[in-house]
Each structure stands twice: as C-alpha cells, then as structure tokens.
Structure 1
C-alpha cells in the first residue's frame, strides 16, 4: 500500500463557520435524538474507521517515519473499541432522566434531563491521532451531539485518510473532519461550539482555553505533565524496573501517561539501573535498524528531547544510553529520529528536564533514603496526569494517596485507570480539567437540565416580594437565630481572638 504525502491546506474561517452552521441547523431539527439514532451514528462511525484500518495504520507509519503497523492497529484503531461497546450497551440507561429527592417537604418534585449540548468540537493530538479523537467523538455522539473534528496537522497523511473514511459513512451534518495547519487550528478554536474537547500539551491547551473563554464555550482539557513512579521500599526492584521501562518506552515515550521520573531507594539504585537496562535490551535487542522502534514524530521533537538531555548533562547529570554495545558508536543515527532509550542519574534540580514534560524515551532516576522524601517531592510539583506506585498496599502507599494529587493512580503497572471504562479519565490543574470515558464522557457532552414543578394552590415567589410585614421580619430573624444556635452548638464558641 502506498501512502502519498498530503500537503497541508488550511480551511478558511468562513468554511469552518459554514460547517458549524450546517451542523447546528441539523441539530435543531432533531435536538434530542433517540437511542436508535445515536447507536446508528456510532456504528457507522466505527465502521468507517475499521474499514480503513489498514490504510490508517500505514499512514501512521508514514507520518511517524517509523511506527510498527501492529502498534497502530493495537492502540490507535482497536484500542477504543471496548469502551465504545460499553457506551453502546448502557446508552438507554444513561439517557434516561434521573429522579432526585423532592424539595420543600416533598411538595416540589424534580428530575434531571440529560440533554445534548449541541455541536462539539474535538481537537486531537499527534501521538495517537486516531483513537484520541475517535473515542471522545463517539461519546459526544452517544450524548446526542453533532461533532466537528480538527485532526492533528503533524499527521497529515493519517488525517487525509481519516477524513475520507469518516465521509464514507457519515454526513458532514453528523461528523466532519477538518485538516489544516496553525491557521485552521486557531480559527477552529475560535468557533462558538457548545463544547470543546482538547487533547494535547498544556502550552496549546492554554491557547484553546483562552479562545473558548472568549465565546464562553465550556472546554475539557486532556493534557499531560511530569508523571512520577515511586518504587517503594518493599517493592521487587527488578520487576519494578522492568515494568517502568515498558511504561517509559511504549510508543518511544510519546505518551501522556508515561512516567517522566522515578524514585528508588538509594541502596537499590544500581539494581534498578541494571534491571532497567536488561529490560530495554530484551524489548529492543537491536535498535538502529529495528522495525519495532517508533521514531520521534518530527525533527523538532527529536531536537527538543535531545536538548533536554544535553542540558541535564551540561549541569552534571550522568547519561546512560541503552542500546547494544555494537551500536553505541553509531549514535546519533542521522536523519532517523531514533532517539535511544536513556536513563539520567544524579540530575541537578536546575535541569530543564525536571520541569518540562519529556515525551520521549528518557527517564530521570532519583533516589531517596526515606520514602517520605519522594512523596514530598511529588506533592510539591504540578499535579500529574498519572502517578505510579510500585509496591504493596502499605501504610506508605496510603500516605502517598493522602498527600499527593494526580489525575489517576496506578499501582504496580502502567495506565491501569485509563483502561477501566467505569472510571473517569482526566487530569487536574496543569494536567487538565474535566474527564471522559464511559459514563463520564456521556456526562461531559450532556447538559444536565433540572426540571421541577408543583401543583400547590399558591406560588412560591409571592413569599419573596414585599410587603415586609412585622410578622415576616420576625420570622426571618427567628429562623436565623435558630440556625446560628444549631451551628454553634456543633462547633463550640470561638475564643476572643476568633479561633477555636
């Protein structure tokens, strides 16, 4: 199969607005589509991707320069199907109005209606450009919305195939895929969607949030961050190193969930390094010509990660490059963008790599004499998307959960929370806002509208307007005094300085 280079052609802002207006007009004709309609849209969307799966995988290989077709099939195409099946199964259940307790002594019953927001804009990343627009788009369809997708311009061949695939099964009034560069991405973010869903870097996420804020468009940000891996005192160090290596090197580290740094007991650093090296050489017995290696996506990202390593080395860090000995003198491989698996030891605090998300096959290794040092380090930094603990469910682990904040936590393996469609997936703070996957995704793309009513003989608003009679004034004062007394009885009285 031959995948041709696709030129990046920007879409004019007026054309983007036309597409949005067409979807909004279509939504107005069927504002709350039934379950059968939603399921049909999901099925056609899934079929469009699966029917073009081989072409998509080949395009991903071409866009990356080197990416195994099997890896793309496993993750970018098949990786979202289990969650989509879960969404299809629960669709009627999630759509149903929710009864809530009645107010005012049971006289004002209410329900909560799950209503589509309207037209959703999905902006995708380059590292897994198919699945990370595929899944949120399906969840938006499940919630009854229309969807416009801005595909990553860093995967132009894949974007062209994906757009053609979607158009083969979906009308542009249901789902439409937009390709283009920075001008298109900027104009897309400026559209007055009913919700914007963005996956990518914090730097670009800020720009999307600002654009959405100008239009008061709600936005979900799926970002990344400095994900920690703590190898606890009770952990099997060799096994932990093997698993951390796999987590760091998946997609050559170009994963928002990958650990950026690890902490190990100081007495076990050498054992960790040796086990990590052994694991890497097992995964990649050769490197420079190995077709299983994923290259860095482009020259800029190769240079960026290589620059982070160079900066750390210049400040005293020790670089451990892990490739077969016979290949050591052939690095770097000019033009291949094959950045080798690397450990950094003794990295000083002022190295840029300690604050910049790596997004490459480099792991910074720290040591501790007391595990609370590692916990405090994680707690002091920006909140990561995922935090990893290797060891038992001990008091140390519970202290780690208590004192740190992250989008999710996985113990003893990589990205466990991501694969469970019964839990929300998302970040917090610098690693994102909002969540999706399963019911959380359905809720993200729905407006929960309360509907309340009563059949009382008099209206409630009449009690809130004048006249303010003496009886009403006295009644309010008595209610305030009773509420105050009740609260003070629970808390106790403050001392003269205003503290308890």
Structure 2
C-alpha cells in the first residue's frame, strides 16, 4: 500500500522498509532513461488533470473556505507547468557537460565532462499552505532528475493529504513514489530517514529540527523557509498600481504564502497616499470577507489566534491598526479581514515574526539607505520587492541587499517564472529548485576524466626521482 498509516507501533520499520524498497528498485533500474523519467512526469500530469476538482474540494474542506480559482491556479496549474516544463527540457538538461582541459591534454587524447546522475531516493516534507503545489512542484524536479520519492504531506490539511496518498497510489508504484500520512511523530521519523536528499518547505523553527535530523545521516537538504519579505515603495512609484499589486499578492490565499509581502517600507512623502490606496484596493477586491468565494480562511484556530495576537500587541504598543471596511474577524469561520498596521515598533510581535496572514505593516522611511539598513538588520528574506521608476535607486537597492529572489514593480511573480530558481539565503532557506536548478539540485554532478595514453607524468617530470624538469615546471607555474 502506498499510503502509510498514522504513527503506530512499527511505523518507523515500515518507513525504513519503503525506503529500502525504493532504493533497491532505483539501483536495479540504473541508468534511469529519459523515456522512464518522461513517463513518470506524464503520469503526474494525468493525476492533476483528471482529479483537479476533487483536489480543489479537498483543499476547500481543509481550509473551511478557500477560493476554487486560487486552488486551480496556484496548486493545479502551476504544478502542471512544472511537470510540462521539465518534460520539454529534460533531454537538454541531461546531456553531459563537456569541460576544458589544460593544454595540451585534449590534443593528446584527454577528455573531461560532467555527467548528471540521479541521487536515489528523495524525501519531500511539504507544508499546508499550498498542499499540492509545494508537494508536486518539488516532485516534478525529483522525477525529472531520475529519482524515487517518499512524501510526508502536512497533517494540517488531512483531507488533501489523504486524497493525495490515494491518487499517488493509483498513478505510481510504491517503489516509485510513496506517501506517508500522519502527524508530528511521523514527520519526525520521516526526517530521520537516511535519504539521498531531503526537501522541506515550512517554517524556520521546524526547518532547524529537520536539518538536525538529516545531519545524523549526512543527508543533503533543500530548505524553503520563507521569512519576512519586504516591499520598498519609492516616491517615484505609481502609487495606485503599487497598491493594487501589493494587495493582490498579500491577500492571495489570505496572505498564507512564504513569499507574501510581509511589510512595506514607503518613502514618507508617499506614505499617506499609499495607505489610502491600499485600503481602497482591498475594498474593491474584497467588498466582503465572510462567505466570499474568492477569499480564504485561516488554516486553523491556532494560527487565527496568533494573528489576532499580533494585532493586539501592535495596538497596545501604539501602532495604528486599520481594518478593511471596519470588519471584525470571525473566529468561528476563521475569516480574518485585511488589516494595515502603521509604524509598529521594531520589537513588536508582528515585526519579529513571519506574519503568514492578511496583516500588513507599513513603515515610512526618509532615504533609501534607511530602508536598506532596516532590511539588512534582519534575516535575509526569501523575497524582496521594489516599486519605483528610478533605475539608479533600483540598482542601489539590488546591490546593497541580499534576498532569495526579487520582483521589481510587482510582488511574488519571480516564483512563477520557470526559468528562475526558487531558494532562500540562510534563515530563509538553503538550496533551490524550479526548472533546471531543480534538476541540478536533485542530481549528482559526477566528474569524469579520461587520461590519454601519453605518459603525462613523464612529460611534467613528475616521476621520482624528481629533478630539474619538474623544478622548471613548478617555477613557471609560480610566476
């Protein structure tokens, strides 16, 4: 059975047995041909195409209220794009990369190349906020590189995880892809398995535990951790357009996105205009929240209470809190309206923690270097966004800050470009995937060198007893 039940006595043994089964099948299959890789990617595409509505229904049940269009676009369509993109480029990615040699080795018959081999069995620990895209997106790269995969989906989306396990079992053999459902205990046992690579998407706190567990087996990791992605709005920006795009990005999935705009730094001369425009745009897009089929609920009561706590803490510390339309949150349905928090203190909870919800701090700055300093005093973000029409200012910001990725004059869009890698820096992540970078992340780049028949050691004088010939070569290199 592909789906492994919740944590019970013997679950660790069952996890190890599944890993052993996949590793044995992987080694028996080597080399993993392009036809087999494409076949697995096509089966992944068929899974999504033939079950898109059922998957959207499952996500809606897990959230309590989630836009069907958001689920179709972000979870289904973008997962399809990942797999199709890999299929169309797989032949080119897989070609050995020929490398140059020191003169005259190639003339004498030498050759150097890098061959890309699959690593083996890859573990995928996926989150709840985009439970299909952030599971099957990495899986597309894993399969394109020729690997097998074991998946542990989030326990916070039980309906989606159960359906995903059922579908994976239907479209893949257990030796190819297996889903392990369950709670924290299963996740802990899963992350401790001696995979050939481990992918985790989620919060930094859990990411640290995953990395420690992987370290015991020296398992290489890819960590996508999110963090506080800033938006910088220059006075030169088109304020109306900036506000519209910030609100669209922030309220997608009710802000439950690792790359969502986390806070806005705006030049003070434009602050009042931007605040008003943000509130106006939110009112246009979401004239109501409860029962709105285009809006998404907060995933559970714990996260709802956490976000309410951020607002209360900010207000107690003197920040101005503006609630969209004056609407209060609905605890029963976990519907939380868009709220602006103006100039919260730097040590407030909303400024210390990743928000992951529809709350947006807005802070004024005097000059661009003030904004840069504010960003650089914090962990390096997964995303950075700039709105403005001054090329010199834009270049200064790009050169003076370090972030996983950047979108200029919009938010989040860099993650939607298959040619661009997705990955963080330090606290926002390790490694990257998407497109060719994903193929490389889940492949082993094996160096292969063929020595010519000519006696190279004799040519250099590198055979004992060493003498003047080797001395001349060394002196030449030292110059």
Q: Which residue is equivalent to 2:89?
A: 90
Among 376, 398, 407, the alignment partner of 2:404 is: 407
Q: Which residue is equivalent to 1:242?
A: 244
Change (3 A) 1:390 1:180: same
Q: Does structure 2 retain, via aligned residues, the 8 Å contact 1:31–1:116?
A: no
Change (3 A) 1:365 1:468: farther
Where 2:65 maps in the other structure, the secondary structure is coil
Q: Which shows bigger deviation, 99-108 or 13-22? A: 99-108
Provide the C-alpha distance between the structure 2 equivalents of 1:245 and 1:175, rounded to a whole number of angstroms: 38
Q: Does structure 1 retain, via aligned residues, the 8 Å contact 2:127–2:134?
A: yes
Provide the C-alpha distance between the structure 2 equivalents of 1:150 and 1:381, rounded to a whole number of angstroms: 31
Q: Which runs of 5+ in 1 are unaligned?
A: 1-5, 484-500
Among 349, 355, 360, the alignment partner of 2:346 is: 349
Q: Does structure 2 retain, via aligned residues, the 8 Å contact 1:49–1:162?
A: no
Equivalent runs, 1:299-338 vs 2, <5 Å = 299-323=301-325, 325=326, 328=327, 331-338=328-335
Among 354, 357, 361, the alignment partner of 2:358 is: 361
Q: Which residue is equivalent to 2:388?
A: 391
Q: Which residue is equivalent to 2:297?
A: 295
Q: Does structure 2 retain, via aligned residues, the 8 Å contact 1:49–1:165?
A: no
Q: Which shows bigger deviation, 178-187 or 302-311? A: 302-311
Q: Which runs of 5+ in 2 are unaligned?
A: none
Change (3 A) 1:101 1:20: same
Q: Deviations over 1:178-222 (max 9, x none)?
A: 111011101110111111111111111111111111111111111
Change (3 A) 1:276 1:110: same
Q: 1:277 Cα deviation (Å)?
A: 0.9
Among 120, 124, 129, the alignment partner of 2:131 is: 129
Provide the C-alpha distance between the structure 2 equivalents of 1:254 and 1:407, rounded to a whole number of angstroms: 18
Where 1:430 maps in the other structure, the secondary structure is coil
Q: 1:24 Cα deviation (Å)?
A: 0.5
Provide the C-alpha distance between the structure 2 equivalents of 1:63 and 1:234, rounded to a whole number of angstroms: 42
Among 252, 255, 266, the alignment partner of 1:264 is: 266
Q: 1:290 Cα deviation (Å)?
A: 2.1
Q: 1:460 Cα deviation (Å)?
A: 4.0
Provide the C-alpha distance between the structure 2 equivalents of 1:40 and 1:270, rounded to a whole number of angstroms: 55
Change (3 A) 1:139 1:477: closer
Is 1:40 aligned to 2:42, yes or no? no
Q: Deviations over 1:45-78 (max 9, x none)?
A: 2212322221111110111111122221111111
Where 1:38 maps in the other structure, the secondary structure is helix
Q: Which residue is equivalent to 1:101?
A: 100
TM-score between both structures, scaled by the size of structure 1? 0.90
Change (3 A) 1:236 1:457: closer
Q: Does structure 1 retain, via aligned residues, the 8 Å contact 2:152–2:180?
A: yes
Q: Which residue is equivalent to 1:456?
A: 453
Change (3 A) 1:245 1:456: same
Q: Which residue is equivalent to 2:14?
A: 15
Q: Does structure 1 retain, via aligned residues, the 8 Å contact 2:304–2:331?
A: no
Provide the C-alpha distance between the structure 2 equivalents of 1:362 and 1:426, rounded to a whole number of angstroms: 24
Q: Deviations over 1:226-264 (max 9, x none)?
A: 111111121111221121111111100000111111011
Is 1:152 aligned to 2:151, yes or no? no
Q: Does structure 1 retain, via aligned residues, the 8 Å contact 2:69–2:294?
A: no
Q: 1:8 Cα deviation (Å)?
A: 7.9
Where 2:73 maps in the other structure, the secondary structure is helix
Where 1:105 maps in the other structure, the secondary structure is coil
Where 1:339 maps in the other structure, the secondary structure is coil
Q: Which residue is equivalent to 2:77?
A: 78
Provide the C-alpha distance between the structure 1 equivalents of 2:319 and 2:4, rounded to a whole number of angstroms: 41
Q: Deviations over 1:257-312 (max 9, x none)?
A: 11111011212222111111111111111123323221110011111111122112
Q: Does structure 2 retain, via aligned residues, the 8 Å contact 1:152–1:159?
A: yes
Q: Which residue is equivalent to 1:25?
A: 24
Q: Does structure 1 retain, via aligned residues, the 8 Å contact 2:70–2:252?
A: no
Q: Does structure 2 retain, via aligned residues, the 8 Å contact 1:342–1:363?
A: yes
Provide the C-alpha distance between the structure 1 equivalents of 2:45 and 2:350, rounded to a whole number of angstroms: 39
Q: 1:166 Cα deviation (Å)?
A: 1.1
Q: Does structure 2 retain, via aligned residues, the 8 Å contact 1:143–1:445?
A: yes
Q: Which residue is equivalent to 2:284?
A: 282
Is 1:161 aligned to 2:163, yes or no? yes
Change (3 A) 1:308 1:473: same
Change (3 A) 1:411 1:476: same
